Structure 1
Amino acid sequence: MSAIAGIGTDIIYISRIEHSYQRFGERFLVRILGEQERLIFARRYRLNPQRGIRFLATRFAAKEAFSKAIGLGMRMPMAWSRMQTLNAPSGKPMVVLNDELRSWYETRFGAAHITLTDESDLVMAFAVVESLMGSSATDHKEN
């Protein structure tokens, strides 16, 4: 049985993300999305701009929720583009970390879980990270 090491949640107005994208364009995408997420965003945005913005907003919320669950916020080694939320073949959202963040994460935590939801004007993400086997959540605090 695994223990929960951290949880995080984030809720955001889609219009806030849309405004940032309109203002900063590609710079915003590169800062926020990982490489695979940028490819998905481009495909969705090309087919339907609103669908692309909704994807961008859910990924923004997922990164915020995950950063809270691991207790770092947006401090190194956590950075927006280092954590991606991609979909398993079943459609289930899954956390994918780049090498630098993954090596830090794997010494402290077990599995990571993320869920996303959206409404007409809001998106929300919820993240749960498990403890390493045989560890308690307090073992992961850094001095």
Structure 2
Amino acid sequence: MIYGIGTDICDVRRIRASLERHGDRFAGKILSEAEFKTWKERSARWPERGVRYLATRFSAKEAFSKAIGMGMVMPMTWRLCEIGKLASGKPTVVLHGVLKEWFEARGLSAHVSVTDETDYAASFCVVEKIAP
């Protein structure tokens, strides 16, 4: 059964401007430790790829927060929600701490899709209630 659906579109130029203004501190507020490490590696090789990585993570977390129906209110925080990827490359939602506990207590499962183009990153998230 569908619990919630969320979508988000993010202007990559806005993310780039925030990075220029606040540097690593901005990325550190949005990304989990694992995401931050990946962001640093991608940014070192190709700065634009790093900006797009950050924009897709920002967008996916916004879409997830909408799908669970709470926005950025505890237990939902930027760093407790991680967008990882499976060996196949498929993006996946990885939760931590109190957000993970909240999510699992409700028997929920999440599916996320991310994409980016020159100026925009977009995400779509479906959260479903797993049958008991």
- TM-score, normalised by the number of residues in structure 1: 0.89
C-alpha distance in structure 2 between counterparts of 1:81 and 1:74, whole Å: 11
- The secondary structure found in structure 1 opposite 2:69 is coil
- The answer to whether 1:130 aligns with 2:121 is no
Gaps of 5+ in 2: none
Gaps of 5+ in 1: 135-143
Large movers: runs of 4+ above 4 Å: none
Matches within 5 A, 1:77-116: 77-116=75-114
**CA drift at 1:110:** 2.1
Matches within 5 A, 1:1-143: 3-134=1-132
Identity %: 49
- The secondary structure found in structure 1 opposite 2:79 is helix
C-alpha distance in structure 2 between counterparts of 1:22 and 1:98, whole Å: 29
- TM-score, normalised by the number of residues in structure 2: 0.97
1:78 counterpart letter in structure 2: M
C-alpha distance in structure 2 between counterparts of 1:100 and 1:7, whole Å: 21
**CA drift at 1:132:** 3.2
- The secondary structure found in structure 2 opposite 1:63 is helix
1:63 counterpart letter in structure 2: K
Largest Rg, 1 or 2: 1
Query: Number of residues paired by the alignment?
Result: 132
Q: 1:19 to 1:109 in 2, by over 3 A?
A: farther
- The secondary structure found in structure 1 opposite 2:29 is helix
